[in-house]
């Protein structure tokens, strides 16, 4: 089949969390001028797009995912003119900018909600999900908030409950309402007109609920520790309503009317896979989606990787997946998936694995440095979820600590002030300037691998066939345009036998942890071009 030439298909994407990327004004919080000043680092990696997490006007109850004005920049991040400067700088560097859109909820300080809660008759009365109490005054049903407690908050002005899947400060938009959809499409158009190349859409499967407000059924016992009431239910009725698909088609029609754009949905939940496929099925829907195959996984196994790849076959009409091993919500992968003494070797193998998958690899800021999860003491926690569930969670604050630019600077060159979150000595030691000076660093490896992938049709957008999967070994075949590359991995801390399925002849494109044709040491990985004359390869 002829492979499409869309720029985004297989492109590597770098995620910037603005609060923690670079602080230009010394207030301890990252900002848009800091992003513009430091985009050169991102461009040097070879990625083609940058996803910037929310920078919109917000009271920051959930650090920007509670939006008070979709079309304004919060003063802590700068101004709309500062955003325009980011777009201009990205264009100069050959980067495309995609931004977060949050369509499931707003802040309770958004003008829409302020009006909606005033009465049951005002023009925006049904822009949010309101419901009467039961006869005994309790909430309308048993739905639970992800952040803990019932998904309903009483409002005396209306004499009703409003729904919130997340914080009570994040009231649920009623996206069943065509007027709400029109308003959200207007927001998307505002940013497209401003020069963005598309959107990462937050919690999209949470954007519509069951209008009948039926109770969720209980979740079966799975032996895991449950820290939230939310975990005791199957989220059948408070998310993933079928009507979301029609809204997606309206949204994608708008996005696609602008040239060279890209749309990416975040989809969570127990049945996220099926929802992702539905959201990306055919050209009328979104370009891509990612879920939580890896983000909260307790371990990394060949079987987990193989299952994720085989779930997205290269078939007509099938959507295009995206993959992330860590992000602003999920703890650093090296802290979840290996012992401390193996982190350096594991990080090299993990980088090669992410870039071997069919789909869009998303690199979270600091992942190219091998940053570990920072331990933030309770008294310094900022994350409301971590505070509510402490100590039974790896807090989101631990992955959100500042990006270290300079190893010898007290705050890693992130800020001239006092950073909003502390940075550990271990991560300071992995600073960008130190790794730039070390040709054998993970930073240089990541840059090398991304550039290799970008120029290789098989690795970038080819088919993916799982040739071998066992306890520690994984072999993938990526193929396109008449050539194929074998990606061979030992996801284990002991040496493994070279797979019989893989010839020891072939051009070595890249290798880590002393992997070589015929030899697969602990945490080794190797890319071999099938059918090509063998060359002596060195560690990438």
Give the residue carrying structure tokens 């998958």.
357
Catalytic residue among 202, 385, 397, 529, which? 202
Active site (annotated) includes residue 530: no
**Which residues does 185 contact at the CB level (< 8 Å), separation at least 6?**
250, 251, 254
In whole angstroms, give the CA distance from residue 539 to residue 440. 9
Please, what is the Cα angle at 104 between 119 and 201, to 5 degrees?
Answer: 150
Q: Which two tokens stand for residue 477?
A: 């075949």
Active site (annotated) includes residue 266: yes
Residue 452 CA, distance from chain mean position = 23
Beta-strand pair 483-490/320-324: unpaired
Whether the Cβ atoms of residue 42 and residue 95 lie closer than 8 Å to each other: yes
Residue 382 CA, distance from chain mean position = 20
* Torsion from C-alpha of 75, 112, 329, 192, nearest 10 degrees: -70
Q: Distance between the two ends of the chain, CA-based, in angstroms?
A: 32
Whether the Cβ atoms of residue 88 and residue 82 lie closer than 8 Å to each other: no
Among 51, 164, 60, 152, which residue's Cα sits nearest to residue 104? 164
Whether the Cβ atoms of residue 299 and residue 333 lie closer than 8 Å to each other: no
Helices 244-256 and 272-279 pack at an angle, to 10 degrees, of 40
In whole angstroms, give the CA distance from residue 294 to residue 265. 16
In whole angstroms, give the CA distance from residue 144 to residue 239. 12
Sign of CA dihedral 417, 421, 427, 433: negative
Catalytic residue among 108, 155, 169, 266, which? 266
Catalytic residues: 202, 266
């Amino acid at each position: 089949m002829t492979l499409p030439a869309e720029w985004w298909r297989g492109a590597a994407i770098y995620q910037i969390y603005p609060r923690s990327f670079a602080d230009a004004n010394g207030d301890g919080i990252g900002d848009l001028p800091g992003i513009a000043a430091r985009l050169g680092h991102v461009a040097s990696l070879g990625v083609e797009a940058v996803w910037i997490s929310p920078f919109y006007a917000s009271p920051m109850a959930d650090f920007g995912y509670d939006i008070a004005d979709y079309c304004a920049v919060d003063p802590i991040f700068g101004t709309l003119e500062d955003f325009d400067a980011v777009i201009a700088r990205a264009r100069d560097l050959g980067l495309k900018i995609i931004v977060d859109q949050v369509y499931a909820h707003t802040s309770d300080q958004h003008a829409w909600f302020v009006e909606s809660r005033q009465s049951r008759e005002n023009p925006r009365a049904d822009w949010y999900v309101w419901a009467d109490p039961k006869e005994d005054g309790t909430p309308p049903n048993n739905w639970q908030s992800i952040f803990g407690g019932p998904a309903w908050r009483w409002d005396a002005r209306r004499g009703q409950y409003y729904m919130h899947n997340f914080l009570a400060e994040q009231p649920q938009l009623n996206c069943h309402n065509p007027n709400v959809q029109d308003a959200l499409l207007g927001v998307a158009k505002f940013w497209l007109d401003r020069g963005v190349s598309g959107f990462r859409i937050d919690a999209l499967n949470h954007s519509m609920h069951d209008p009948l407000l039926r109770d969720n059924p209980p979740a079966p016992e799975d032996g895991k520790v449950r820290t939230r009431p939310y975990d005791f239910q199957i989220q059948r009725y408070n998310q993933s309503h079928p009507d979301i698909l029609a809204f997606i088609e309206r949204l994608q029609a708008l996005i696609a009317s602008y040239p060279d754009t890209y749309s990416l949905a975040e989809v969570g939940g127990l049945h996220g896979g099926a929802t992702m496929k539905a959201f990306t099925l055919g050209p009328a829907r979104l370009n891509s989606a990612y879920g939580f195959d890896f983000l909260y996984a307790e371990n990394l196994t060949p079987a987990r990787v193989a299952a994720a790849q085989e779930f997205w076959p290269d078939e007509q009409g099938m959507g295009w997946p995206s993959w992330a091993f860590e992000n602003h919500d999920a703890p650093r992968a090296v802290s979840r998936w290996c012992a401390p003494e193996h982190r350096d070797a594991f990080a090299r193998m993990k980088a090669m694995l992410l870039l071997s998958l069919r789909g869009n690899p998303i690199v979270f800021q600091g992942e190219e440095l091998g940053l570990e999860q920072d331990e933030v003491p309770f008294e310094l926690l900022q994350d409301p979820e971590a505070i509510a569930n402490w100590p039974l969670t790896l807090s989101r604050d631990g992955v959100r600590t500042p990006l270290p630019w300079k190893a010898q600077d007290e705050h890693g060159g992130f800020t001239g002030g006092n950073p909003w979150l502390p940075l550990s000595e271990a991560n300071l030691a992995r600073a960008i300037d130190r790794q730039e000076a070390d040709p054998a660093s993970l930073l240089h490896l990541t840059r090398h691998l991304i550039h290799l992938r970008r120029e290789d049709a098989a690795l970038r957008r080819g088919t993916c066939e799982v040739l071998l999967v066992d306890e520690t070994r994984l072999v993938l075949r990526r193929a396109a345009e008449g050539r194929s590359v074998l990606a061979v991995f030992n996801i284990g801390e002991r040496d493994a036998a070279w797979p019989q399925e893989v010839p020891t002849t072939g051009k070595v494109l890249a290798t880590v942890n002393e992997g070589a044709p015929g030899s697969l040491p602990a945490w080794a990985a190797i890319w071999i071009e099938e059918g090509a004359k063998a060359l002596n390869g060195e560690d990438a």
